[in-house]
Amino acid sequence: MSTIKAKDGTQIYFKDWGTGKPVLFSHGWPLDADMWDSQMNFLAERGYRAIAFDRRGFGRSDQPWTGYDYDTFASDINDLITSLDLQDVTLVGFSMGGGDVTRYIGHYGSARVAGLVLLGAVTPIFGQAEDYPQGVDKSVFTGIKAGLLKDRAQFISDFAAPFYGTNAGQTVSEGVLTQTLNIALMASLKGTVDCVTAFSETDFRADMAKIDVPTLVIHGSNDQIVPFETTGKVAAEMIQGSALKVYDNAPHGFAVTHQDQLNEDLLTFLKAR
């Protein structure tokens, strides 16, 4: 099993498929690197090196008691990039993963980065703040944490409906729902809860001001988890020269429901680099 050791000793698992220009994927909550299997296989078969890691506390990575904050997540990505000596890497972040690749650029710069892709990402701010009242109300995140602590398995099972839009006309297989629940339950409960605090309270605006690489923003128009109007739309407006694609009626989990469309859009973006 491939791992690197982060600065604090935490073992971070990663998968590394194919050869060619590297693409590094950062997963969403409460998933792990396996969410990217379709995209990784598709790109590796077309001459790219696809790399995805399990965020600390999730999947096959260690489950430390602390460190579930974006400065640490960005540091873990930096440790992975430097350990593998990646150059001209395209960073792809989904949902909360969009935050850690953005924070990586904010803290470590773009010398090794060829491009950035934000998919249904929590940038620039997900939760409500004094100077960002349009963000999601804090009570929503309080409810999520309470649900996880009371009955995580049932909460995640119920969460899948708005995540994949099955309550709004989308269809996913029973296998996908089973896999989603299984992946979520592999994670540290402490890490799962602490990440809710991290992605709901972190302000990425200063990091986004430092983005100076070609950027693609993709969001679903019917995202019930990370609302497009206050995240993806604003992010695309903030990042100079970025391209925005809005998937009509797509849910948050469009990497599954719109798999083929996403794969082709990623390939087109990569070919232009």
DSSP state letters, 168-190: GT----HHHHHHHHHHHHHS-HH
**What digits encode the pLDDT tens for the residues 123-138?**
999 999 999 999 999 9
pLDDT for 1 equals 82
Rounded alpha-carbon distances, angstroms, from residue 93 to 166, 173, 273: 23, 24, 17
Residue 94 clears pLDDT 90, i.e. is over it: yes
Whether 223 is catalytic is yes
Count helices and strands (H / E) in the chain: 10, 8
**What digits encode the pLDDT tens for the residues 57-71?**
999 999 999 999 999
Q: Tokens 């430390």 — which residue?
A: 64
**What digits encode the pLDDT tens for the residues 240-249?**
999 999 999 9
- The four Cα atoms 105, 111, 116, 118 give a dihedral, to 10 degrees, of -10
As a whole number of angstroms, the distance between CA 63 and CA 56 comes to: 6
Residue 273 clears pLDDT 90, i.e. is over it: no
**The residue type at 39:** Q
Which sign does the torsion angle of CA 67, 78, 259, 216 carry? positive
31 neighbors 58 (Cβ within 8 angstroms): yes
- Choosing from 32, 76, 223, 265, the catalytic residue is 223
Q: Quickly state the pLDDT bin for 79 (edges 50, 70, 90).
A: very high
Ordered structural domains, the chain, with CATH: 3-271 (3.40.50.1820)
Q: Running DSSP on this structure, what letter comes out for residue 132?
A: B
- Choosing from 27, 54, 100, 252, the catalytic residue is 252
As a whole number of angstroms, the distance between CA 3 and CA 6 comes to: 9
* Cis? peptide before 64, omega within 30° of 0: no
pLDDT for 223 equals 98
pLDDT for 110 equals 98
Average pLDDT, integer, range 179-193: 98
Which sign does the torsion angle of CA 26, 29, 30, 31 carry? negative
Strands 215-220 and 243-247: parallel
**By percentage, how much of the chain surpasses pLDDT 90?**
99
Q: Quickly state the pLDDT bin for 120 (edges 50, 70, 90).
A: very high
Residue 7 clears pLDDT 90, i.e. is over it: yes
Average pLDDT, the chain: 98
Whether 173 is catalytic is no
Q: Would you call 44 helix, strand, or coil by DSSP? A: helix
Average pLDDT, integer, range 88-113: 98
217 neighbors 69 (Cβ within 8 angstroms): no
Whether 95 is catalytic is yes
- Choosing from 26, 61, 75, 95, the catalytic residue is 95
pLDDT for 98 equals 98
Residue 77 clears pLDDT 90, i.e. is over it: yes
- Output the CA angle 267-3-115, nearest 5 degrees: 25
